Amino acid sequence: MSDTTMKRKGRCFVFGDNVNTDEIIPARYLSTSDPAELALYCMEDARSGFGRRDDLAGSIMIAGENFGCGSSREHAPISIKASGIGCVIAKSFARIFLRNSFNIGLPIIELPEADQFGEGDEVEIDFDRGLVRNLTKNKEFTFNPYPEFLKKVIDYGGWLSYAKAELMKEGA
User: Higher model confidence: residue 149 or residue 119?
Assistant: 119
The pLDDT value given to residue 2: 40
| Class of the domain covering 7-145 | alpha beta
pLDDT tens digit sequence for 31-57:
999 999 999 999 999 999 999 999 999
How many Å apart are CA 99 and CA 7, to the nearest integer?
A: 21
Q: Which residues touch 21 (CB under 8 Å, ≥6 apart)?
A: 68, 69, 70, 71, 72, 73, 75, 76, 97
pLDDT tens digit sequence for 94-124:
999 999 999 999 999 999 999 999 999 999 9
pLDDT tens digit sequence for 61-78:
999 999 999 988 899 999
